Amino acid sequence: MELSKNFEPQITDNKWYNHWLDKNYFKSTPDNREAYTIVMPPPNVTGVLHMGHCLNNTIQDILIRRARMKGYNTCWVPGTDHASIATEAKVVGMLRERGITKSSLSREEFLSYAWEWKEKYGGIILQQLKKLGCSLDWDRTSFTMDKEYYDSVIKVFVDLHKKGIIYRGKRMINWDVKALTALSDEEVIRKETKQKLYHLKYKLENSDEPIIIATVRPETIMGDAAICVHPNDERYKNLHGKFAFVPLINRRIPIIADEYVSMDFGTGALKVTPAHDVNDYALGQKHNLETIDIFNDNGTLSEAAQIYIGQDRFEVRKKIAVELEEKGFLLKTEEYTSEVGYSERTDVVVEPRLSLQWWLSMKDIATPALKVVMEEEIKFYPPKFKNVYRHWMENIKDWCISRQLWWGHRIPAWYDEEGNYVVAENEKEAIQEFSKKYGKSNLTIKQDEDCLDTWFSSWLWPFEVFKGYSNPNNDEINYYYPTNTLVTGPDIIFFWVARMIMAGLEYKKQIPFKEVYFTGTVRDKLGRKMSKSLGNSPDLLGLIDQYGADATRFGIMIASPAGNDILFDETALEQGRNFNNKIWNALKLIKMWEPRQSDTYQEENQFAINWFENRLDEVSKDVDNMMQQFRLSESLKTIYSLIWDDFCSWYLEWIKPGFENPINSSTYKKTVTFFTELMQLIHPFMPFVSEEIYHHLEKRNDDLCIKQLSNSKPFDSFTLSTGQLLKNTISGIRDVRNKQQLKPKETIQLFIQTDNENTYKSIESILSKQLNTSSINFTKENIAGSFTTIIDRDKFYVVTEKPIDSTNQKAELEKELNHLKGFLISVEKKLSNEKFVQNAKPEVLAIEQKKKADAESKIKTINDSLELLN
């Protein structure tokens, strides 16, 4: 079969993915092998594949494919999250297009539309992951609102309520005025925001002098319940216990003293609005102040505000500033920058609000979850995130778990007409609970309208995808749990990672995973986070269509060290495509040799074979070590260099037969073996091109996808150093040829002045072939009439028929001499630094001392050469 000019992923990718699926290679059932398990962080059911998913899932696929090739029973579980806020917004949008409002529908009607949307659009992202080559066990696809999963979430709520961990209480919460729901603290993003600081005059009772307060929120003055000053502030000591009047509405409010107030912020006098600020609420509780909520759910002003009723809070801010100025209450405004909380989902400014919600007490449930990470029962990669985790866990607050939404897990609380409530799994059990708790029967009861926070369901993910709660101690949960590696972004370390650890310890008495690999954030090449609004988020499916899945995976992985942000540049995908084609061209070259095999022994190939075999063993061991430390990007770079440089640029050149000459059959077979092992190494990173080449190299009865990696073997360092010497020598003499404009066809005589004669003799045949020499000789004397160069510590004389330009050669040597002298000064400076010598590791010191000795040796050799030319 004739091979195409370049690798063609558009043809190859689908062919092999469907083949792997047909062979059930990704399917897992418990057996006697050791399991290697990853549960996919479930993308939102609303999601479409983007660069963050590409990075996260490529990493998971690399780990799973390599584990599969190491003999593990691999299980990678796919699934989606119901994503309450995001999905409800999508459904409301769909209804709006049909001329339907959510308020016109019953809960059941709305949910029927939500399920319609989910069945039509939900899970698109999972199908897209197939294009990326993800080797998921698709038969295990889970959804956080599957029947058994849903029931487990409800049962966990009931259980934690019985234990007193879940409670109902009125507290300050974060309110999303667009999604019309409460948010947890973790769902609020703090952003530096430019605002104005308004200095307002509050009229004092029985005085012509006003008290000045500074606020960034003049629209909330109608909710003011007091003015607070520091008890030690001399400016206001005479006002303690006095009263002032709120501008525009003239409400009489007390002036109170509390150490909470900062004397040096603003004017030192603080307006206290208990209903609309967390700290003000605490002050209000302490001083028994009235709580006046002036906002409706949607961020418009309520009747309690008395003025601007029904108008949006930010519109009111503009209008009230004008009115305050017109009526003499606004003294001045200043530009001011401070952190403001925004909803993670809707990006609107969050409104602090007093609200009756359901809460989960975190302190006791968090303590064991902190311990397992700090004692490294669960290891974080990179470990710097341990401190981030510790700080949050040690300062943890109770979790607001109720959301004012319909799409999700409905809170299993039931109320009677008097407002009494019970918590039960269903209505029948609720009636029984009312009878036990309140002695009531024949009741009309109603279920809580709210849903649970999406994260309250996904914290069960690592065990409930194996029915670990709904069907305890089943064969699968006992085999696959705890899982091995979680791959996720550090942005959800609190939302999800910490809570999964809590749930795993609470309900399985085991950690949910052994390692957590934190990816970085994918940014554009200017360092900006990718977003639709900036227009800098590439069409990932378009990139896969253009470059192929392998090149896309290569492009995202080649520059993605764990935990560090990735500056994505499409040129990395071009590099991946070029790499595909480089490997493909190597295949075409080798296949050209296949019919030209002979039994003629070619001694010059033996060193090349020995060297590359050792190089392959060395890299295999290095990759093993790097993969164990989750240094995936370094592993890819190492394999890339092995294939591109060592195999294609060096090894194949060394063994390449002359034009129309045969190749020794054992050399050919060994080369196919090497190529096969290289494809095994690269397969987890680039599965399609490697599988295709594996089958082109020779007829196979198996597939690379499941071919077992052999254990790395010991390697011979001397052979490797000799190979490096060979590469350096070839590069150095070719450099002389180029500088002297000697054509490759022109033969040269090569004289080598060295103490290492035997080593050079072992590679003499390759040197002669690669450098086109008529002879290679060893000498103790300088050779007159030659071009001279120094490579490592050895001196080389190149003799040709071309006359020597001694002036030019002298200039080249002097340039090299000046460079070496400068280098030697910098090394000597470092070695004369006592602090460096005392603190440096012995191996670092040895490297610097070798640099010094090598530089001195080369300087002496160049000086000898210059004397010869004078």
Bigger pLDDT: 427 vs 602: 427
Q: How confident is the model at residue 812 (pLDDT cuts 50, 70, 90)?
A: confident
pLDDT, mean of residues 338-358:
91
Give the DSSP per-residue string, 39-80: E--PPBTT----HHHHHHHHHHHHHHHHHHHTT-EEEEE-EE
pLDDT at 811: 83
The answer to whether residue 563 scores a pLDDT higher than 70 is no
Cβ burial of 387 (10 Å; 0-12, 13-18, 19+) is exposed
The answer to whether residue 478 scores a pLDDT higher than 70 is yes
Residue 804, C-beta contacts closer than 8 angstroms, at least 6 positions apart: 785, 786, 787
Please state, in angstroms and rounded to a whole number, the distance separating the CA atoms of residues 480 and 33. Answer: 11
pLDDT at 533: 63
Q: How confident is the model at residue 49 (pLDDT cuts 50, 70, 90)?
A: confident
pLDDT, mean of residues 440-468:
94
Q: How confident is the model at residue 643 (pLDDT cuts 50, 70, 90)?
A: very high
Q: Taking the model in full, what pTM does it have?
A: 0.86
pLDDT digit string, tens, across residues 385-424: 999 999 999 989 899 999 999 999 999 999 998 889 999 9
pLDDT at 536: 80
pLDDT, mean of residues 639-663:
94
The answer to whether residue 816 scores a pLDDT higher than 80 is yes
The answer to whether residue 9 scores a pLDDT higher than 90 is yes
Q: How confident is the model at residue 840 (pLDDT cuts 50, 70, 90)?
A: confident
Q: Which of 644, 625, 701, 524 is nearest to 50 (CA)?
A: 524
Q: Picking from 217-226, 478-487, 791-800, which range would have the lowest pLDDT averaged per residue?
A: 791-800
Q: How confident is the model at residue 47 (pLDDT cuts 50, 70, 90)?
A: confident
Name the residue with tokens 């003629």. 600
Angle at 687 between CA 63 and CA 77, to 5 degrees: 45
pLDDT at 341: 93
pLDDT, mean of residues 22-40:
97
Please state, in angstroms and rounded to a whole number, the distance separating the CA atoms of residues 862 and 819. Answer: 12
Tokens linked to 546: 């253009």
Residue 615, helix vs strand vs coil: helix
Q: Give the up-direction half-sphere exposure of residue 217: CA atoms within 13 A in the CB hemisphere.
A: 18
pLDDT at 1: 66
Please state, in angstroms and rounded to a whole number, the distance separating the CA atoms of residues 128 and 43. Answer: 12
pLDDT at 801: 84
pLDDT at 532: 62
Q: Picking from 142-156, 273-287, 763-777, 806-820, which range would have the lowest pLDDT averaged per residue?
A: 806-820
pLDDT at 843: 84
Bigger pLDDT: 481 vs 868: 481
Q: Picking from 56-70, 355-369, 527-541, 668-682, which range would have the lowest pLDDT averaged per residue?
A: 527-541
The answer to whether residue 732 scores a pLDDT higher than 80 is yes
Beta strand 421-423 pairing with 35-39:
unpaired
The answer to whether residue 864 scores a pLDDT higher than 90 is no
pLDDT, mean of residues 9-13:
95
Count CB atoms within 10 A of the CB of residue 79: 23
Please state, in angstroms and rounded to a whole number, the distance separating the CA atoms of residues 164 and 363. Answer: 12
pLDDT digit string, tens, across residues 287-344: 999 999 999 999 999 999 999 999 999 999 999 999 999 999 999 999 999 899 999 8
Q: How confident is the model at residue 602 (pLDDT cuts 50, 70, 90)?
A: confident
The answer to whether residue 548 scores a pLDDT higher than 80 is yes
Most confident of 52-61, 805-814, 815-824, 833-842: 52-61
pLDDT at 104: 94
pLDDT at 845: 87
Please state, in angstroms and rounded to a whole number, the distance separating the CA atoms of residues 729 and 185. Answer: 63
Tokens linked to 682: 């690269």
Conformation bin of residue 836: beta by default, left when phi > 0, alpha when psi is -120 to 50: alpha
pLDDT, mean of residues 67-73:
97
pLDDT at 523: 87
pLDDT at 527: 85
Are the beta carbons of 397 and 362 closer than 8 angstroms? yes
pLDDT at 362: 94
Name the residue with tokens 């599957």. 146
pLDDT at 472: 94
Are the beta carbons of 845 and 853 closer than 8 angstroms? no
**Alpha helices, DSSP H only, in 71-181?**
84-97, 107-121, 124-131, 147-162
Q: Picking from 144-153, 361-370, 707-716, 844-853, which range would have the lowest pLDDT averaged per residue?
A: 844-853
pLDDT at 163: 97
The answer to whether residue 804 scores a pLDDT higher than 80 is no
Residue 226, C-beta contacts closer than 8 angstroms, at least 6 positions apart: 253, 254, 255, 256, 272, 283, 284, 287, 289
Bigger pLDDT: 337 vs 784: 337
Name the residue with tokens 């007159």. 784
Q: Which of 762, 588, 602, 583 is nearest to 666 (CA)?
A: 602
Q: Picking from 21-25, 73-77, 821-825, which range would have the lowest pLDDT averaged per residue?
A: 821-825
Give the DSSP per-residue string, 348-391: PBPEEEEEEEEEE--HHHHHHHHHHHHTTSSEEESTTHHHHHHH
The answer to whether residue 562 scores a pLDDT higher than 70 is no
Q: Give the up-direction half-sphere exposure of residue 208: CA atoms within 13 A in the CB hemisphere.
A: 0
pLDDT at 712: 81
pLDDT at 344: 85
Percent of the chain, pLDDT > 70? 99
